[in-house]
C-alpha cells in the first residue's frame, strides 16, 4: 500500500521562526507518505501485527488496509450497566463468559461491574472480548489500536497469548497495532508489518514461549493476596494446607 497524507499549515510568525531555526519548509502543505505491504483479505491468515515507533503510520495503515473493521474500544459501553450487558444482544450468557475468560478477564465479580468501575487492564481485556464478538457477528476484521500500551508487560504477554488463542478459536481475524515488540512471541502472529521500514514478513507459527512456575508451600496468611479475586468466598480456613505458584519471582 502507498498512503499519502497531506495537511495545510498556515504561515504564521511563530511557524516561520521555528522553520528558520531548524531549516524546515515554512507552512503551506505538509505531506507524509507511508509505504508498506499488508496481506489481503483473500490470503490465509488469522492474526496480524502492525508495529513500529510512534508516528510511523501504524494506525493509518491499518485503517486503510482494513476498511470496515471493528476497532476494539471504539464504541462506548452502556453507562450504569454491567460489563456482561455491553455485548451484542444475540449472544448467550455462556458465550459472553467464554469471551471474557478467553481474553484472560477471569473475574466474575468484574463481569458484574460497570465498565467505568474496572481497572485500565480489565477495560483493555473487556474491549478485546467485545471487539472480537462484534467482528465475528459482522464478519469483519477486529483491529486493536495501542495494543498492550496501557498494561504492564507481564499482563501484555499473557493478554497477547490469550487474545490470539481466542481469535483462532473463534475464526476471527485480529490485527494488533502497537509499538511494543516484546509481545511478538506471545501473540505469535501470522504476519508482521513494519511501516517505518516499509516491510511486511510472514512468519511460521511457533506457539508461545514456555512458562516456568515454581510451586512451594506457604503460610495461610498468603491468602490475603488473592481473597478479593475469588468468586466463591473471601475467607479461608486457618487449618488449610497452602501452596503458591511464582513466575519469575512474582
pLDDT of residue 207: 80
What digits encode the pLDDT tens for the residues 20-45?
999 988 878 888 889 999 998 788 99
* Residue (of 209, 186, 95, 76) closest to 176 by Cα position: 186
pTM of the model: 0.85
CA distance 55 to 196: 9
For residues 115-141, give the mean pLDDT: 95
What digits encode the pLDDT tens for the residues 146-157?
999 999 888 899
pLDDT of residue 226: 87
For residues 172-194, give the mean pLDDT: 94
Amino acid at each position: 500500500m502507498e498512503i499519502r497524507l497531506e495537511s495545510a499549515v498556515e504561515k504564521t510568525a511563530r511557524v516561520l521562526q521555528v522553520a528558520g531555526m531548524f531549516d524546515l519548509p515554512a507552512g503551506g502543505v505538509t505531506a507524509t507518505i507511508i509505504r508498506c505491504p499488508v496481506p489481503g483479505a483473500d490470503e490465509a491468515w488469522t492474526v496480524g501485527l502492525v508495529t513500529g515507533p510512534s508516528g510511523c503510520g501504524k494506525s493509518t495503515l491499518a485503517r486503510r488496509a482494513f476498511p470496515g473493521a471493528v476497532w476494539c474500544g471504539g464504541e462506548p459501553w452502556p453507562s450504569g450497566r454491567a460489563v456482561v450487558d455491553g455485548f451484542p444482544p444475540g449472544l448467550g450468557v455462556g458465550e459472553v463468559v467464554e469471551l471474557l475468560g478467553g481474553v484472560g478477564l477471569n473475574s466474575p465479580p468484574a463481569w458484574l461491574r460497570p465498565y467505568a468501575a474496572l481497572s485500565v487492564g480489565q477495560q483493555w481485556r473487556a474491549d478485546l472480548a467485545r471487539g472480537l464478538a462484534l467482528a465475528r457477528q459482522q464478519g469483519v476484521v477486529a483491529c486493536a489500536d495501542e495494543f498492550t500500551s496501557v498494561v504492564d508487560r507481564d499482563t501484555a504477554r499473557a493478554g497477547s497469548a490469550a487474545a490470539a488463542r481466542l481469535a483462532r478459536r473463534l475464526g476471527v481475524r485480529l490485527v494488533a497495532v502497537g509499538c511494543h515488540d516484546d509481545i511478538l512471541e506471545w501473540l505469535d502472529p501470522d504476519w508482521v508489518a513494519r511501516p517505518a521500514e516499509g516491510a511486511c514478513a510472514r512468519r511460521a507459527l511457533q506457539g508461545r514461549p514456555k512458562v516456568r512456575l515454581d510451586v512451594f508451600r506457604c503460610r495461610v496468611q498468603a491468602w490475603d493476596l488473592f481473597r478479593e479475586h475469588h468468586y466463591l468466598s473471601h475467607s479461608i480456613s486457618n487449618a488449610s494446607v497452602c501452596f503458591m505458584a511464582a513466575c519469575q519471582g512474582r
